[in-house]
Copies of this chain bind each other. A is one copy, B any other.
Amino acid sequence: MAIDADALWILLNAVRERQPLVHNITNFVVMNTTANALLALGASPAMVHALDEVEDFVAISQALVVNIGTLYPEQIAACKLAAQRARAGGVPWILDPVGAGATPYRQAAASALTRLRPNVIRGNGSEILTLAQQARVGQGRGVDSLHDSEAAVEAARTLAAETGAVVAVTGAVDYVTDGAKMVEIHNGHPLMARVTGLGCSATAIIGAFLAVERDPLMATVAGLAVFGVAGEMAAEWAAGPGSLQVALLDALYALTQSDLAQRLKLDKE
């Protein structure tokens, strides 16, 4: 199937109609933001991380989102358990390796989760370079990227080929690859980098599309494109990062077929 505005619109409608249950094990900074982004899109989010219930919860979910932003030992254990259960039960899952490379602890956690075969990995330039073992530990600026997304394009391709995951590296341009094909998304707005958790929200939105679309490349492009278009629309309305976040939720909720058709900017190799 061609990846174009029509195909993405069909997928967005599928999310809105089916309201898939998206299980999130995510960080404390963005739990609220992420849940609101998923609800505005039309999905049904749940944030569940107790070791005693993550397996049961994955089993009733249509997708799993794993994000290591504010990781701690019990949460890493819960992420692993949930990821294994997702793989065993055919529930698609996506990994967001927040700040991979900033500390050895964080890098070890990200690597261990990568080995549990996520269907998709989404990170910024520094995170993807780290996961592809092309960057040294400790060089990151915490959770923000030191590298343009463009600098990590080849790392993304390598990581995808090695892991079998679709890899997305996001930034001024978003790149999505399965190791062979490469899709560029030229939507979004620079002001989005001044709101916390929008990368994490993009990951969660991809999770919602994974729940309705089996092809992870298609689902990832759909998630990033819809999120980027909504961000652009929000930036036109916003006076700064506070109003951008509010307007982004409104735009995700209100996004129409013509918004998508008129604004979508994809480049395919």
Chain A binding site: helix, strand, loop or mixed by DSSP?
A: mixed
A259 at the interface (CB under 8 A from B): no
Q: How far is the CA of A176 from the CA of B36 in the complex (A)?
A: 27
The interface residues of chain B lying within 8 Å CB-to-CB of A196 are 32, 35-36, 39, 45
Pick the residue among B32, B99, B242 that contacts A46 (CB under 8 A). Answer: B99
A235 at the interface (CB under 8 A from B): no
A148 at the interface (CB under 8 A from B): no
A70 at the interface (CB under 8 A from B): yes
A10 at the interface (CB under 8 A from B): no
A254 at the interface (CB under 8 A from B): yes
Give the segment of A100-108, A162-170, A211-219 that binds chain B. A100-108
A207 → chain B, closest Cβ, in Å? 13
Number of residues of chain A lying within 8 A (CB) of chain B:
67
A102 touches B57 (CB 8 A): yes
A99-B46, A142-B61, A246-B242 given; A29·B29 CB < 8 A: no
Identify which of residues 18-57 in chain A touch chain B, using a CB-to-CB cut-off of 8 Å: 19, 21, 23, 27-33, 35-36, 39-40, 44-53, 56-57
A72 touches B45 (CB 8 A): no
A248 → chain B, closest Cβ, in Å? 7
A204 → chain B, closest Cβ, in Å? 12
The interface residues of chain B lying within 8 Å CB-to-CB of A45 are 142, 196
Binary interface profile of A, 80-117, with partner B (CB < 8 Å = 1, else 0)? 00000000000000000001001111100000000000
The interface residues of chain B lying within 8 Å CB-to-CB of A69 are 47
A141 at the interface (CB under 8 A from B): yes
Instruction: Count identical subunits in the complex.
Output: 3
The interface residues of chain B lying within 8 Å CB-to-CB of A103 are 48, 53, 56-57
Question: Which B residue's beta carbon lies closest to that of A38?
Answer: B196
B239 touches A250 (CB 8 A): yes
Q: How far is the CA of A53 from the CA of B23 in the complex (A)?
A: 26
Identify which of residues 179-205 in chain A touch chain B, using a CB-to-CB cut-off of 8 Å: 193-197
B242 touches A50 (CB 8 A): no
- Using a CB–CB distance below 8 Å, which chain A residues touch chain B? 19, 21, 23, 27-33, 35-36, 39-40, 44-53, 56-57, 60-61, 69-74, 99, 102-106, 138, 140-144, 193-197, 238-243, 245-254
A-B pairs with beta carbons under 8 Å apart, 18 shown: A21-B144, A31-B70, A32-B33, A35-B197, A39-B194, A40-B194, A40-B242, A46-B102, A48-B70, A49-B72, A50-B73, A53-B106, A56-B102, A56-B138, A60-B138, A72-B74, A240-B254, A241-B249
